[in-house]
Structure 1
Amino acid sequence: MYGDCRTEEIDAPPQACFDALTDFEALPTWQGAVKSVRVLERDATGRARVVEFEVDAKVKRVKYRLRQVYDEPHRIGSEYAGGDFRDMTGEWRFVDLGDGRTRAELDLNIDPGRFVPGPIRSAIADAVMRRSLADLKRHLSR
């Protein structure tokens, strides 16, 4: 896949996880690091195809665009389409555990482009994944 995978059990069905993460304009209200989102391109059904994110990366704010690939409600893939990184690819997967519960899995590969040693890149990706999963769990537990 894209490197390390992180998982979290969510008290919501896969469709609720999928819907929360594809309501891009609402992400800044509950994803802590996401400061703004703009949908730049939509497909024939009106679903976001290319999305621009502005994220607080602690050291500075970064912008990047991702091309979204969907397999509703099981998967959201993201392909890098330009921005402040050299590369960024990721994938959310939602596994139905029954009883309205989901195992959310997130794979993420971030290459910031500057000379950043591999272990530091891995630590950044790990922190981003843990925070994103925790934010999703908190959002759907309301």
Structure 2
Amino acid sequence: MARTTSDIVIDAPADQIMAVIADFSAYPVWATGVKTADVVATADDDRARQVHFVLDAAPIRDEYDLAYVWDADRTVSWRLAEPGSMLTSMDGAYVLEPLDGARTRVTYQLSVDVSVPLLGMLKRKAEKVIIDTALKGLKKQVEAS
């Protein structure tokens, strides 16, 4: 499954960015289309291991669970643990790369499959829109705090 990738530079250290990524209860504030994000299970470090999402991002309206794997403040990856009615597969990751001073490059990788057939080009375009919107929302949320 090919991944769509994009990145952005955020004026904050990696730990501050990862704290925003890990705060799922705040996703409805900054993550476009996310209506709720409820932690179902946590790991030993108190970070989410599984999260239940309710998404309303036309044309996709769905509920699903994602399973997360954290690597300190360097990366977080996820996969679809409980499929929804539309989402049949989702694999993604945020990769954080510290730059000079307190800036960090955040790379978002995503691959999504849905139950309705989509041309590869349309699917990649949809993934790109999701990624770019998420990165801009993350940057705004982190830099506002």
Q: Please give the range of the TM-score, normalised by the shorter of the 2 chains.
A: over 0.9
Report the more deviating stretch, 79-88 or 93-102. 79-88
**Aligned-CA RMSD value:** 1.4
C-alpha distance after superposition, 1:11-37 (max 9, x if no partner): 111111111000111111221221101
Residue pairs, 1:69-84, within 5 angstroms: 69-84=69-84
User: Which runs of 5 or more structure 2 residues have no equivalent in the other structure?
Assistant: none
Amino acid at match of 1:81: A
Residue pairs, 1:55-74, within 5 angstroms: 55-74=55-74
Amino acid at match of 1:40: V
Is the Cα contact below 8 Å between 2:32 and 2:57 reproduced in 1? no
Is the Cα contact below 8 Å between 2:111 and 2:127 reproduced in 1? yes
TM-score (norm 1): 0.94
Write the distance in 1 (CA, Å) between the matches of 2:109 and 2:5: 5
Q: Does 1:110 align with 2:112?
A: yes
Report the more deviating stretch, 128-137 or 81-90. 81-90
State the 4+ residue runs in structure 1 displaced beyond 3 angstroms.
none
Q: What is the CA-CA distance between 1:118 and the residue it aligns to? A: 1.0
Is the Cα contact below 8 Å between 2:25 and 2:38 reproduced in 1? yes
Aligned residue pairs: how many?
142
Is the Cα contact below 8 Å between 1:40 and 1:50 reproduced in 2? yes
Which residue in 1 is equivalent to 2:99?
97
Q: Does 1:11 align with 2:14?
A: no
Write the distance in 2 (CA, Å) between the matches of 1:135 and 1:51: 19
User: Which runs of 5 or more structure 1 residues have no equivalent in the other structure?
Assistant: none
Write the distance in 2 (CA, Å) between the matches of 1:5 and 1:138: 19
SS at match of 1:55: strand
1:2 to 1:38, Cα distance in 2 relative to 1, 3 A: farther
1:44 to 1:140, Cα distance in 2 relative to 1, 3 A: closer
